Chains A and B, each alone.
Chain A
Amino acid sequence: MIDLDIRLNRGSFVLDAKLFTNEPVIGLFGPSGSGKSTILAILAGLIKPDEGRFVIDGECLFDSEKKVDVAIHHRRIGLVFQDSRLFPHLSARNNLDYGLNLLAPRNQRFSFDQIVALLEIGHLLERRPHQLSGGGKQRVALGRALLASPRLLLLDEPLASLDSRLKNQILPFLRRIKEQLQIPMIYVSHSINEILHLTQTLAIIQAGSIIANGGFHEVIKDERVLSLAHSLGLDNVIHAEVLEHNQEFEYTLTGYGENKILLPLLNKPIGSFTAISIPASNIALSKLRLSALTIQNQLHGTVTAIRKIDHRVLVSVDIGCVLIAEVTAKAVHDLEIKCGDSVYCLVKAQAIRHLGDSAD
């Protein structure tokens, strides 16, 4: 449970953030410079707010009026950053042990072997940080933070410095942490995909204020959020079931509700759920189902909203879940698209991105 109400003034940047949530895993999403990292730093105790208070799980860690300011080493808040911040003079094993050794056995929530197995870093233990790959470093950093039995884990763009292949490698581990260890997390990212992979609960931050807070699909309806999200490359994320693979034509067929979505061949077992994303600008709309068309996916749904944000027009189409298509104003006008209309979302298979294992 997080109850946060803080203010910080640094000249050109003013932070005034309020957040109240009971969700165990929450994503903090916003553009660069919006204050995401600052909030994490404040929670961890690295930065002191000018005024305000915050309470984690019933314990007040900071209150400017009552002069409460719990020291960093007493907060039990784990931190994982974009740069792993592993201690270069210690082996991976000793890095992992660092926080663990400071706890009395009865306070150790997780065991060394348990975390090593969870993150599959057993073969890296005797290496020094400079001998680890980027992905290895981040997993060790995760393990180190977890072994200190934090009451809350803060992740500040932990995958930002990894290439997409590595990112996809690590995301499943993050989900394992959430599911198997059940540890509260706040995940900061400017990539909504990453967050959605982990949780559907979001807090949206812009220019130092939290402008929305809740489930992805509710939050997305907020106008302010929508324009923001797009400027950061909002994609439509669907958790689809793998239905069949076609080796000859190298495609995979997935299903969502009654829809069938075709995309390039995935290496995923039949029956498993996987997250895919479709860029809003790659969805074209048609009033009719078309033939003699190379576009493989025509997803049928109903228009639920049409919004003009900046110079773009975003059409929300409910195909079972809400997809957002970006089209031109002229198109909407010419086709006379309005709410309630039945439309087809045309999506090229090539445009669909595969995000990895499904979050929920």
Chain B
Amino acid sequence: MLHDLLNFTPSEISALFLSIKVALWSTLASCVPGIFVAWLLARKSFIGKSLLDSLVHLPLVLPPVVPGFLLLILLGNQGLIGKWLHESWGITLVFTWVGAAIASAVMAFPLMVRAARLAIRQVDTNLEAAAQSLGAHPFRVFFTVTLPLAMPGVLTGLILAFSRSLGEFGATITFVGNIEGETRTLPLAIFTYTQIPGGDTAAMRLVILSMLLAFCALLVSDLLERRANKRLGLNPHDD
């Protein structure tokens, strides 16, 4: 039984690497927009702010198939934007890992924004004002003062987004399907195996793998956060 559990087939390994690839790109893609939106919500007031806030949080509260379906309508080859992408630029997103990364990015976005927003809000605005009084342009203040000080929270947001992407299922399967080697990430692979009679052992293997990945992500997150807090002279939390 144990031997079975460790005997990964090539398609299972492929699901693992695909998952990591999709999650990495998804996190990278939502990094800059995520921090920007977080900063907007944390520091600025403007008309439509609560609308933006709600929009950002939608993927958190909607069943994942809904954003998946919306993505299909928007970015499918016949979609509102996808059609233009496909015909003018030859870009196809549906049935590709890029599409899977986009689906994951959409679902993980609110987690990224929430964590980053909290972190930015906690940065003392007095410090930002002090930096400006020393001659720093607001952009420079953001990159040299705000962001470094918000880094522990931002890192947490990134890792949360990464973990969420690893586990993304509903939006992925609705938007880009379940294609081995291309969009069959770990959750989809597990699902596939549970749907086929005789696939239980394989499913279990992948379940254990997923749990290990999640643990690792959380450990790394904790480590990074402690280190960042230490550099800021804050006491590392002893939970």
Residues of A within 8 A of B138 (CB): 73
* Residues of chain A contacted by B148 (CB below 8 angstroms): 89
Known contacts A85-B126, A85-B127, A89-B149; is-contact A102 B232 (Cβ 8 Å): no
Whether A99 pairs with B134 at a CB distance below 8 angstroms is: yes
Mark out the residues of chain A between 131 and 162 whose CB falls within 8 Å of any chain B CB in the assembled complex: 131, 144-145, 148
9-residue interface stretch from A75-83, A270-278, A284-292, A322-330: A75-83
Convert B126-165 into 0s and 1s, putting 1 for each residue whose CB lies closer than 8 angstroms to a CB of A: 1101111111111010001100110000000000000000
- Contact partner, B232, options A71, A81, A88, Cβ 8 Å: A88
Establish whether residues A98 and B134, one from each chain, have CB atoms under 8 Å apart when the complex forms. yes
Q: A195 contacts which chain B residues (CB < 8 A)?
A: none
A108 CB to nearest chain B CB (Å): 11
The answer to the question of B231 belonging to the interface, with a C-beta cut-off of 8 Å to chain A, is yes
* Interfacial chain A residues near B149, Cβ < 8 Å: 87-89
A46 CB contacts on chain B under 8 angstroms: 129
Pick the residue among B126, B127, B135, B145 that contacts A102 (CB under 8 A): B135
**Chain A residue, CB-CB nearest to B137:** A73
Q: A73 and B136: CB pair below 8 A?
A: yes
CB distance from B51 to the nearest CB of A (A): 27
Q: Which residue of B lies closest to A141 (CB)?
A: B130
Question: How many residues on A have C-beta within 8 angstroms of the other chain's C-beta atoms?
Answer: 29
How many B residues touch A, CB cutoff 8 Å?
A: 21
Is the CB of B233 closer than 8 A to any CB of chain A? yes
Q: Is A128's CB within 8 Å of the partner chain B?
A: yes
User: Which of B135, B231, B233 is A73 in contact with, Cβ under 8 Å?
Assistant: B135
Taken together as a complex, chains A and B put the C-alpha atoms of A128 and B149 apart, in Å, by: 14
Q: Are B233 and A99 in contact (CB under 8 A)?
A: no
Contact of A77 with B134 in the complex, beta carbons under 8 Å: no
Task: Check B145–A72 contact: CB distance below 8 A.
Answer: no
Q: Can you name 20 A-B pairs with beta carbons within 8 Å? A: A46-B129, A72-B132, A73-B134, A73-B135, A73-B136, A73-B137, A75-B133, A76-B135, A77-B133, A78-B133, A83-B126, A85-B124, A85-B126, A85-B127, A87-B127, A88-B149, A98-B131, A98-B134, A148-B134, A148-B135
Query: What residues make up the interface of A, taking CB atoms closer than 8 Å to B?
Result: 44-46, 71-79, 81, 83, 85, 87-89, 98-99, 102-103, 128-131, 144-145, 148
